[in-house]
Amino acid sequence: MSYEIEPFVVNLDKHAEVGIWCSMPAALSTAEIKPRPPKIHVHVRDTPQADKRIDKDFTVASTIHSTREGLFGEGELARVDITPAAAFNFVCALEAHLEMGCIDCSNCGYPHLDLGDFAKTPHRKHFCANCGRDSTWSKGAIISTPLKPLHDRTATRLTTLLPDRSLNLDDHKGRNYTVWASTPAIVWTASRPQEYGIHVHVHDGADRIIDETFGEVILNGKALVREELLQAMIDRTIV
């Protein structure tokens, strides 16, 4: 087990736009891509038109929000820690369209988190990692994670949009590039849709001249397939 002292904390109610994703290794790059554990990528804007005041990876992120929405019971504030393993399993389950929910342990009341193989197949009987009891049953087969109600808090605004932009990397021969499949956000508080496609960085020397998400990316005369890029990212992720 690993522990994080004083993790990054973001209050979802104090910023105009907060986006949180699971950060994985790139799918393609002119540089070597080393396998690594997942991280938590956070971007924050104070107004919708402002530059991002935060746009970086963290080892762990904690979200604070008002409990007016009733996510986890009574109280003025609620805090949800987003760990790399939980974020990775959650995004993989979202991409696979698996049934998810969040069930509390029938013995200690702790929100249940499925990880590893338990996060790959929905099931009804759940083993509590907090108290060790396995007497909690869900009404239907689900993968249980506290990230589900956190995600659903912004689900009404978490629409996706395939960008009407294309990029031909063959036009940038001699320049360095890195390519990712965009993944669904765990948290998305912006009023605008989340762009869902292929994200590319292109560098001309030390200058990053392209940092954008595209609906189509061409490499070596062929269109890249987002699902294949995502699988390459998953395969390089150490959990």
Q: Domain residues of the chain, as ranges? A: 8-152, 160-235
Global model pTM greater than 0.75: yes
Mean pLDDT of the chain: 91
45-78 per-residue burial string, b: 16 or more CB within 10 A, e: under 16: beeeeeeeebeeebebbbbebeeeeebbeeeeeb
Beta bridge partners, 144, equal 101
For the stretch 158-182, pLDDT in tens is 677 889 999 999 999 999 999 999 9
Residue 1 confidence (pLDDT): 52
Q: What does the pLDDT read at residue 4?
A: 72
pLDDT of residue 197: 94
Strands (E), 145-239: 160-161, 166-168, 176-181, 187-188, 194-195, 198-204, 207-214, 216-219, 222-223
Indicate the Cα dihedral angle 138, 143, 148, 149, nearest 10°. Answer: 10
User: Could you give the 3-state DSSP secondary structure of residue 70?
Assistant: coil
Type of residue found at 61: A
The model's pLDDT over 52-83, given as tens digits with 9 standing for 90+, comes to: 999 999 999 999 877 555 555 555 558 889 99
